[in-house]
Amino acid sequence: LVPPTSGNIMIRDYRISEMTENELCLFRREHLGFIFQSYNLISTMTAMENVALALTFAGVKKEIRKERAIEALEVVGLVDRMGHKPSELSGGQQQRVSIARALVNHPEIILADEPTGNLDSKTSADIMEMIYRLNREENQTFVIVTHDPDTTKYCTKVIHMQDGLIESEVSQ
């Protein structure tokens, strides 16, 4: 999280802009999940191992890590591919693994940077349907950055920005 040039960032009762680096690290680990456009999966690890890695940093025991990683992969419909490495998965499957990794710690907020940017239109729609379902059924909050107008159709609130300034805000 980059500190603001002015003002404060508040999430719940936390003043993000006033936290030390260690406090920010703990906050990210305990409250945030991240979905990247480029997936950021470790090529030598299986889908399950990539998802479980997030739990390793949280100090979760190995047997619980495996169980929770499998649960997260079930949520994204990939439990049958849990033993596959990223090179053995399609782009959409790799993105779903990265979504499972973002969900495995049960974060309050998931930050998604162009989550469909590297995907074809059909796979993009499938991914956004899944994110929409997770928002509705699992009460997950997603903050999505995108240039794709089709992606915004799945969002309850859309904020348009230009050159770092808010141009408009629309609730859907």
pLDDT single digits (tens) 39-93: 999 999 999 999 999 999 889 999 999 999 999 999 899 999 999 999 999 999 9
135-171 burial, b if ≥16 CB within 10 A, otherwise e? beeeebebebebebeebbebbeebeeeeeeeeeeeee
Q: What confidence score (pLDDT) does residue 71 get?
A: 95
pLDDT for the residue 1? 67
Q: Do residues 52 and 101 touch, judged by C-beta distance below 8 A?
A: no
CA distance 107 to 112: 13
Task: Quote the pLDDT of residue 141.
Answer: 94
| The pLDDT value given to residue 162 | 93
Residue whose structure tokens are 């590297």: 118
Amino acid 22: pLDDT: 94
Could you give the CA distance from residue 11 to residue 31 in angstroms, rounded to a whole number? 10
What's the rounded Cα separation, in Å, for the pair 156 and 171?
A: 6
Whether pLDDT at 3 is above 90: no
Query: Which of residues 94 and 5 earns the better pLDDT score?
Result: 94
Residues 123, 92: Cα–Cα separation, whole Å: 6
Judged against a pLDDT cut of 90, whether residue 172 lies above it is answered with no
Class of domain 10-171: alpha beta
pTM over 0.85: yes
Report the pLDDT averaged over residues 145-167: 93
Output the pLDDT for position 2: 75
* pLDDT of 145 above 70: yes
Domain ranges of the chain: 10-171
